[in-house]
Amino acid sequence: MIAAMATARATALPSGRPRLRVATRSGSVRLVAEERADILFETRKPWIVDVRVDGDGVVWPELDRDSRSLEVRCPRGTGVVVGTASGSVALEGEFGHVSVSTESGTIRLDRAESADLRSSSGSIEVEGCGERCRVSTQSGKAVIGAAGATEVDTVSGSIVLEGAAGGVRARSASGSVEVRTTGKHDVAVETLSGKVRVRVPTEVKPAAALKSLSGRRVFDCEAGSDCCVAVRTMSGSIEVIPD
């Protein structure tokens, strides 16, 4: 069932894996995935006008135009789409596919099967993503823990990828990039200004294509053909080292 705390309204969840869509103008959004059989919406004031289920079985709360912060508790594995003009978004627990877009605000995700996270102004943090992970921020740091195939774009902000279990593509106009892979995975990094460090497992023998117009280049791995590490920077050092 779905409960809207402000109105004490409840209705049955559609069959299949739960899917949730949330859209707000401003204010923080916190989603918690836990062991439960319903979706609970909590607000400080009665901002929830209605809770709807569309033809595709997607659950979404209809909010008052003056709504602010919102907290949602949902079953583990719920697929989530969140859009907010201004406000931070936090997702705690284990989710299905997650898509988040905010014009101004940080995004923090614990774990998801896959993720597409975008912020025009704000840092993005991901603890874990099982499959594809896409992260984009115009201004802010991007930090990703364990993830499958990963794409990261920042205009002004550093990139840290701590455990890539798939191919990596990272681009930054201004900011350092640090990537650590867990296997034979291709890595492609481009930055205009910033230091780049790529760490690969000791047993992996990568082929390297390293280009820097202004900065030292260090390749300390045993060369081979297990994967390709391609790095290009206009200004900044490049290091490819064993982990």
Q: Within a domain: residue 213?
A: yes
Lowest mean pLDDT among 57-61, 124-128, 153-157, 188-192: 57-61
Q: Within a domain: residue 208?
A: yes
Angstrom distances, CA of residue 37 to CA of 75, 80, 163 = 6, 16, 33
Q: How far apart are CA 79 and CA 19, in angstroms?
A: 5
Q: What is the pLDDT of residues 190-225, one digit of tens each?
A: 999 999 999 999 999 999 999 998 889 999 999 999
Q: Within a domain: residue 26?
A: no
Q: How far apart are CA 127 and CA 143, in angstroms?
A: 8
Q: Within a domain: residue 161?
A: yes
CB atoms within 10 A of CB 218: 12
Backbone angles phi, psi at 77, to 5 degrees: 85, 5
Q: Write down the pLDDT at residue 92.
A: 99
The tokens describing 23, both together, are 């859209």
Q: Are strands 187-193 and 227-235 parallel, antiparallel or unpaired?
A: parallel
CA-CA-CA-CA dihedral for 152, 155, 157, 159, to nearest 10: 20
Strand, helix or coil for residue 2 = strand
Q: How far apart are CA 14 and CA 239, in angstroms?
A: 51
Q: Could you tell me what percent of the chain has a pLDDT over 90?
A: 68
Q: Where does the pLDDT of residue 3 fall: very low under 50, low under 70, confident under 90, or very high at 90 and above?
A: very low
Q: How far apart are CA 148 and CA 117, in angstroms?
A: 15
Q: Write down the pLDDT at residue 40.
A: 86
Contacts of 151 (CB under 8 A, 6+ apart): 132, 133, 134, 135, 168, 169, 170
Beta bridge mates, 147: 129, 164
Whole domain around residue 219: which residue ranges?
A: 135-242
The answer, yes or no, to whether residue 11 has pLDDT greater than 50, is: no
Confidence (pTM): 0.90
54-62: list long-range contacts, CB under 8 Å, 24+ apart.
56/19, 57/14, 57/15, 57/16, 57/19, 58/19, 58/20, 58/21, 59/2, 59/13, 59/14, 59/18, 59/19, 59/20, 59/21, 60/20, 60/21, 60/22, 60/23, 61/4, 61/22
202 neighbors 220 (Cβ within 8 angstroms): no
Q: Total domain count for the chain?
A: 1
Q: Within a domain: residue 212?
A: yes
Q: Are strands 150-156 and 89-104 parallel, antiparallel or unpaired?
A: unpaired
Q: Within a domain: residue 65?
A: no
Q: Write down the pLDDT at residue 37.
A: 86
Q: Within a domain: residue 139?
A: yes
